Amino acid sequence: MKTIDDLQVAGQRVFVRADLNVPLDGETITDDGRIRAAVPTINKLLDRGAKVIVASHLGRPKGAPDPQYSLAPVARRLGELLGKQVAFATDTVDESARATVAALGDGEVALLENLRFNAGETSKDDAERGAFADRLAALADLYVGDGFGAVHRKHASVYDLPARLPHAAGELIAAELSVLKKLTEDVKRPYAVVLGGAKVSDKLGVIDHLLEKADRILIGGGMAYTFLKAQGHEVGRSLLQEDQVPAVRDYLRRAKERGVEFVLPVDVTAAPEFPDLKTKAPANPRVIAADAIPADLQGLDIGPETRKLYASKLADAATVFWNGPMGVFEHPDFAEGTRAVAQALLDSPAFTVVGGGDSAAAVRILGFDENAFGHISTGGGASLEYLEGKTLPGLAALED
């Protein structure tokens, strides 16, 4: 796979497929981590005299313009981080895009409007996707793939466009791959994995693969209650995927056979209702034993004894991969489990990887120094699929 160092970019129009899919509250960006992660590649190209065309998706618009998903706020923030004006095209491949790109001088940068405003970006029809990729290719001379958070998608700008232009991987993708190889090849042991988040179904593939790789797997978040149910415990009103209980029971059996330690919560912080995340009003939390959750309560975080247990299980690890919060970290009554796991990673001598998505957001929202971790990934879903051993379309497209 070529890198941008292999491209002659001076005076060339370089299309950079970034992942600028940031959370918005109206027009306010609430976490700019992915924008900051895109800056090194863009700056490197600008410093070498390229005309840089940045493109990304944001949210899930339905193949047509939708003002709530506009990248206009992202253009402003990107300009602040780059310290220079970012020209903004109000469409993806039409008049504004063509005029904005035509006006670029060497060392200047533009951002196209949300790629998903065009149905061709995400179409399952190869011809429709290809037609959109053709129009994107007409804007540029070279392609740089740097949106790691999107490489598991077979989308026009990720998969089809690289085939139409000389291409290379950006700094971010190169860094992500280097880290992920440390989690799959010549892993330093003990290798501990912490998995959280809402749904166990989102993690089945990676759990299956990690049973061959990890020494211990710690489970938290909403998915923990399906594991507790599989052990025969009642979980009250907690999030439960009943249809996944047989699969989870099988994973627990296989883990025992393979000598992989599965660590589940011993206590939880529970409440009668899901908390109000806007007002942050007190939610009347109670600490309950994980095997004695009453019918009128729902678990919303791991409890204090589980926090201590998980910290002890991470203390001697040499490699740690963490994906998914331990609870509803956005509310102060249920943030301590996620905070404790983040702190345990910092206290551990291990090479620590925070696997993108909500985990990365939690690290920033809870006030931790990102640079204190070994690596914070920008792509939760992409990281998980890589760890599952899947072929990721966006990476395959960048191979020579």
Catalytic residues: 34, 199, 357, 381
Predicted local distance difference test score (pLDDT) of residue 173: 96
Residue 73 structure tokens: 């706020």
Fold of 4-171: Rossmann fold (3.40.50)
Q: What is the pLDDT of residue 199?
A: 87
The Cα 90–Cα 114 span in angstroms is 9
- Determine contact, residues 48/9, Cβ cutoff 8 Å: yes
Contact 260, 297 (CB under 8 A): no
Nearest-angstrom CA–CA distance, 303 and 310: 11
> If we measure between CA atoms, which residue out of 151, 193, 152, 191 comes closest to residue 173?
151
pLDDT given at position 334: 97
337 to each of 4, 277, 333, how far by Cα in Å? Answer: 40, 17, 10
Q: Which residues are annotated as a binding site for substrate?
A: 19-21, 34, 57-60, 116, 153
pLDDT at 388: 85
Count of beta carbons in the 10 Å neighbourhood of residue 51: 26
pLDDT in the model for residue 381: 85
Contact status, residue 1 vs residue 37, Cβ threshold 8 Å: no
**Of 111, 32, 110, 114, nearest in space to 69 by CA:** 114
CATH of domain 179-387: 3.40.50.1260
For the beta carbon of residue 85, count every other beta carbon within 10 angstroms.
11
Other beta carbons within 10 angstroms of residue 261's beta carbon come to: 14
Q: What is the pLDDT of residue 324?
A: 93
Predicted local confidence at residue 367, as pLDDT: 92
* pLDDT at residue 358 in the model: 83
Q: What is the pLDDT of residue 241?
A: 96
Tokens of 204: 């089945």
Domain with CATH 3.40.50.1260 in the chain: 4-171, 179-387
What pLDDT, on a 0 to 100 scale, did the predictor assign at position 378? 84
For residue 190, cis peptide bond before it (omega within 30 degrees of 0): yes
Q: What pLDDT sits at residue 169?
A: 98
Residues 6+ away with beta carbon under 8 Å from 83: none
Render the burial of 344-374: b for 16+ CB within 10 Å, e for the rest: bbeebebbbbbbbbbbbbbbebeebeeeebb
Give the CA count within 13 Å in the CB-facing half-sphere of 155. 24
Annotated binding-site positions for ATP = 203, 299, 330, 356-359
Annotated binding site: 19-21, 34, 57-60, 116, 153, 203, 299, 330, 356-359
How many Cβ atoms sit within 10 Å of the Cβ of residue 192?
28
Residue 395 burial (CB count, 10 A): 21
- How far apart are the C-alpha atoms of 142 and 137, rounded to whole Å? 8
Give the pLDDT score at 361: 85
* Tens place of pLDDT per residue across the chain (400 aa): 999 999 999 999 999 999 999 999 899 998 898 999 999 999 999 999 999 999 999 999 999 999 999 999 999 999 999 999 999 999 999 999 999 999 999 999 999 999 999 999 999 999 999 999 999 999 999 999 999 999 999 999 999 999 999 999 999 999 999 998 889 888 999 999 999 999 899 888 899 999 999 999 999 999 999 999 999 999 999 999 999 999 999 999 999 999 999 999 999 999 999 999 999 999 999 999 999 999 999 999 999 999 999 999 999 999 999 999 999 999 999 999 999 999 999 999 999 999 867 888 899 889 999 889 999 988 888 888 898 888 999 999 999 7
Interior angle at CA 292, CA 291 and CA 296, nearest 5: 130
| Residues annotated within a binding site for (2R)-3-phosphoglycerate | 34, 116, 153
Handedness of CA 74, 75, 80, 83 (dihedral sign): positive
